[in-house]
Structure 1
Amino acid sequence: METESHNSLQERPTPSSNGRTSVDGDKLIKAVRDENINLVQQLLEGGADVNFQDEWGWSPLHNAVQSDREDMVDLLLCYGADPCLKKKNEATPFIIAGIVGNVNLLRLFLSRGADVNECDANGFTAFMEAAVNGRVEALKFLYENGAKVNLSRRAKQDQKRLRKGGTTALMDAAENGHVDILKILLDEMGADVKACDNMGRNALIYAFRSSDDRNLEGITRLLLDHGADVNVRGEEGKTPLILAVEKKHLGLVQMLLEQENIEIDDTDREGKTALLLAVQYSLKDTAQLLCEKGASTDCGDLVMKARRNYDPFLVKLLLSYGAREVCPPPAEDWKPQSSRWGKALEHLCRIYRPMIGNLKIFIDEEYKIADTSEGGIYLGFYEGQEVAVKRFYEGSTRGQQEVSCLQSSRANSDLVTFYGSESHKGCLYVCLALCERTLEEHLTTHRGEAVENEEDEFARNVLLSVFKAVEELHLRCGYTHQDLHPRNIFIGESPVFL
């Protein structure tokens, strides 16, 4: 987006060849900004540099386009202005024409060599800028001339590492409240309503980011009617339903609850559900609607929150829907056994999560232990025990074989302890003993250290445990392990193998 925020603080003024040129250049830019076309012509005739750029890279042509002065643009081009000149943030006059929404200028710059999908340093194209600024005619013109509707915003490498970028024109239109642009993108141009940015946010989340709620209902309805994912998560793990409650917008809450696949009890990263927030904000109608639609009242100390807010209506409502009068917090003296994962386990223990059978888990980066080829490994509690949880899709052959193998080898102390498994919404959760590190991590940490007798003892114990585990798998259970690697050997109280 063409704003000063796009410019890096590290930028420096463009050096000029001499002081006089710099003075004339500054005068020329000021004359363009003042829209004094006679003075612009005088300066050009006097030899002012038509391609002079100020410290941010603004040239006379950039300024003329920003002022939407076609006559001044023509004059500057006649005197040799570079139609493809870039500002410090790499924005061209063509991209600025997209912001202004001037179709004549867009057509002119395309004829002078502009690429319809060219972008600035932040990944903004003219098409995206037209969507941001609600320029309907410019948007249609650019589309007719080959603009890519579903192009996602390219991020710089350092920004990409922070999962920035990936935004589309549809998300821009949703965030800026342009219902007309949104309709055109969806109905006429085939915009992908399921597209997500690099943080996993879709256009529905972007709609809720807007500070102006006037068009929010219309935009939400439009996106939902076109199949937007209603359970997507935004900042802090908040779903559209949670965001609607936070906006204290009963109509939006009702609209979202009408969706067939809505997950009414989803929590944000703090373990708060939509109902808990409704009670916290004393939103009586919203809380009643959520309860009527089946929201769980087992999501924290709801009754206590209602009492603290001196809200007898909510107290009676919650009790009538089965809320407990007292929801005891975890024991204050509870301490995690794991030193490595202790902080995350304490947080997971403290927040509310709906149970999956005997398992408490939250699929979030904070609680991820490792990636796998299928669904990752996460921290969890199984029957109150700290566990590592391997996630598979429910029909996974590998997952079923792993459960079968672990069940048949429970008595073997050289194999990782298996606590149990749960299935929920198409996923299989396999709960295993939580170990502090892998052999690979141990070797990396202790690489280069002198080998003492104690270290020899450790190495012998590891190898002995591996051999015994392989014997158990191969001879007694009929399984073949095809990936013997230090990362698959876990270190606990004694070496264990998986």
Structure 2
Amino acid sequence: MGVGAFDIKPLGAYGMVLWNTGTKPSKWLCHPVKLFAPRVVHGQAVISVFIYCLRILHIYAAKGMRAYTLAAAERMKLLRRLDAKEHRGKTPLLVAVTARQPAIVHDLIQTGADVNAVDNKGQSALHLAATYGYAQVLQVGKAFMVLIASSHTPLHCAVLAHNTLLREGCQTLTEEQQKDLQHQSEELESCIHLLVQTGASIYSRDVKSNKTVLHYTVQDGNISLLRYFLELNAFKSKDFVNNKAHGNTALHMAAALPCDKNQKEIIQLLLDHGADPSIRNLDNDQPIHMAPSGKSGDQVRHLLKKGKVASAFISCHRNARS
């Protein structure tokens, strides 16, 4: 054949790509392509077909055509274009992740696709899998899982996505929508557990906001994930509970929550795990100063006062023992 794995048959303003699928030695796929130049010469046809073949790899990955994707990927690897990007900056690997094609994700990684490649929004394959709750995609190979140990942002993405589902669940939904939402929520929780089990740190801070997963769970009243992360931190680090993000601890954020977001339960959980109600933020406010007015605010202030007394007692007891 002519150029690499394809040949060109000039047909006026169009060409015909003969693409070896790799499934059978004698089987070739024929794809018509429009050539950009009005006059078809061999060099121009090669350039046009080359661009087309890059797009073909993205299309195969998106449609779940595994054998064709693998064959095309092997050819593109030889041409050093396995990580070519489409108009949104997505490589074939990123397309396969978004299309929820774990087998193709595995094949592309094994072929040599760059697992650190990012799209125009700065999202890597790991970000996308975590954000969309694709647990199967996260499990597709050791080469993919190696990234998790050194990366914390995907865990934040998964938590934020779970928070979004939580907010959607507060709206009026049909029974079918509720079931779908529940399924998505369970998948995201599986992703979060998987990320943690394979090395994602709950203590890492988001680069932009300086928040940990604790801040993110509290800000949306996500009590189920809050319990999970606090249990992971049991007897390890009070700094985790009292970390500040732009001056506010998780307890500051909890005190400012609306009462319909499990506010009192969240405050009690934080206090039980060592949250210090005496810490002040950048405005010199303690969590008690963040509580809303009215009856619900009085209940919050009562909780925080009790927590402050208990915290002072524990501190005095420790000083006496030392």
Q: TM-score, normalising length from structure 2?
A: 0.64
- The CA deviation string for residues 363-406 of structure 1, in whole angstroms up to 9 with x for no partner, is xxxxxxxxxxxxxxxxxxxxxxxxxxxxxxxxxxxxxxxxxxxx
Does residue 126 of structure 1 match 2:92?
A: yes
CA contact 1:116–1:147 (8 Å) conserved in 2: no
**Residue 212 (structure 1) shift:** 4.0
Letter in 1 for 2:198: H
Give the equivalent residue in structure 2 for 1:139.
Answer: 105
CA 191–309 in structure 1, closer or farther in 2 if over 3 Å, else same: farther
User: What CA distance in whole angstroms lies between the structure 2 residues aligned with 1:238 and 1:141?
Assistant: 35
- The CA deviation string for residues 345-367 of structure 1, in whole angstroms up to 9 with x for no partner, is xxxxxxxxxxxxxxxxxxxxxxx
Does residue 273 of structure 1 match 2:249?
A: yes
Give the equivalent residue in structure 1 for 2:158.
Answer: 207
CA 76–172 in structure 1, closer or farther in 2 if over 3 Å, else same: same
- The CA deviation string for residues 91-113 of structure 1, in whole angstroms up to 9 with x for no partner, is 63213432333213313423544
User: What CA distance in whole angstroms lies between the structure 2 residues aligned with 1:293 and 1:192?
Assistant: 30
**Residue 124 (structure 1) shift:** 3.3
CA 72–250 in structure 1, closer or farther in 2 if over 3 Å, else same: farther
Does residue 193 of structure 1 match 2:148?
A: yes
User: What CA distance in whole angstroms lies between the structure 2 residues aligned with 1:247 and 1:111?
Assistant: 45
CA 314–142 in structure 1, closer or farther in 2 if over 3 Å, else same: same
User: What CA distance in whole angstroms lies between the structure 2 residues aligned with 1:255 and 1:179?
Assistant: 18
Letter in 1 for 2:84: C
User: What CA distance in whole angstroms lies between the structure 1 residues aligned with 2:294 and 2:149?
Assistant: 40
Residue 133 of structure 2 is aligned with which of 177, 186, 196?
177
Does residue 99 of structure 1 match 2:62?
A: yes
User: What CA distance in whole angstroms lies between the structure 2 residues aligned with 1:245 and 1:127?
Assistant: 34
In percent, how many aligned pairs have the same letter? 20
Gaps of 5+ in 2: 1-8, 19-26, 36-44, 167-184, 280-284, 311-322
Give the equivalent residue in structure 1 for 2:308.
Answer: 322
**Residue 208 (structure 1) shift:** 2.7
Q: Which moved more, 1:283-292 or 1:96-105?
A: 96-105
Corresponding residue pairs, total: 245
Query: Which secondary structure does the structure 2 equivalent of 1:74 belong to?
Result: strand
User: What CA distance in whole angstroms lies between the structure 1 residues aligned with 2:95 and 2:253?
Assistant: 36
Query: Which secondary structure does the structure 2 equivalent of 1:75 belong to?
Result: strand
Residue 254 of structure 1 is aligned with which of 217, 227, 235?
227
CA contact 2:139–2:145 (8 Å) conserved in 1: no
Runs ≥4 residues deviating over 6 A = 77-81
**Residue 275 (structure 1) shift:** 1.2
Q: Which has the higher contact order (CA 8 A, sep 6+)?
A: 2
CA contact 2:211–2:245 (8 Å) conserved in 1: yes
Letter in 1 for 2:300: L
Q: How does 1:235-246 map to 2 (within 5 A)?
A: 235-246=208-219
Q: How does 1:241-390 map to 2 (within 5 A)?
A: 241-260=214-233, 261=236, 263-269=240-246, 271-281=247-257, 282=259, 283-299=263-279, 300-308=285-293, 310-311=295-296, 312-322=298-308
Give the equivalent residue in structure 2 for 1:221.
Answer: 193
User: What CA distance in whole angstroms lies between the structure 1 residues aligned with 2:76 and 2:289?
Assistant: 67
Letter in 1 for 2:248: K
**Residue 310 (structure 1) shift:** 2.9
Query: Which secondary structure does the structure 2 equivalent of 1:321 belong to?
Result: helix
Structure having the higher Rg: 1
Give the equivalent residue in structure 2 for 1:47.
Answer: 12
Query: Which secondary structure does the structure 2 equivalent of 1:224 belong to?
Result: helix
CA 78–315 in structure 1, closer or farther in 2 if over 3 Å, else same: closer
Query: Which secondary structure does the structure 2 equivalent of 1:297 belong to?
Result: coil
CA contact 1:134–1:178 (8 Å) conserved in 2: yes
- The CA deviation string for residues 14-64 of structure 1, in whole angstroms up to 9 with x for no partner, is xxxxxxxxxxxxxxxxxxxxxxxxxxxxxx99734349xxxxxxxx99xxx
**Residue 147 (structure 1) shift:** 2.8
Query: Which secondary structure does the structure 2 equivalent of 1:264 belong to?
Result: helix
Letter in 2 for 1:177: G
CA contact 2:73–2:111 (8 Å) conserved in 1: no
Q: CA RMSD in A?
A: 3.7
CA 170–111 in structure 1, closer or farther in 2 if over 3 Å, else same: closer
CA contact 2:211–2:244 (8 Å) conserved in 1: yes
User: What CA distance in whole angstroms lies between the structure 1 residues aligned with 2:61 and 2:81?
Assistant: 10
**Residue 206 (structure 1) shift:** 2.0
**Residue 137 (structure 1) shift:** 2.0
Q: TM-score, normalising length from structure 1?
A: 0.43
CA contact 1:303–1:323 (8 Å) conserved in 2: no
CA 174–275 in structure 1, closer or farther in 2 if over 3 Å, else same: same
Letter in 2 for 1:313: Q
Greater helix percent: which structure?
2
Letter in 2 for 1:308: S
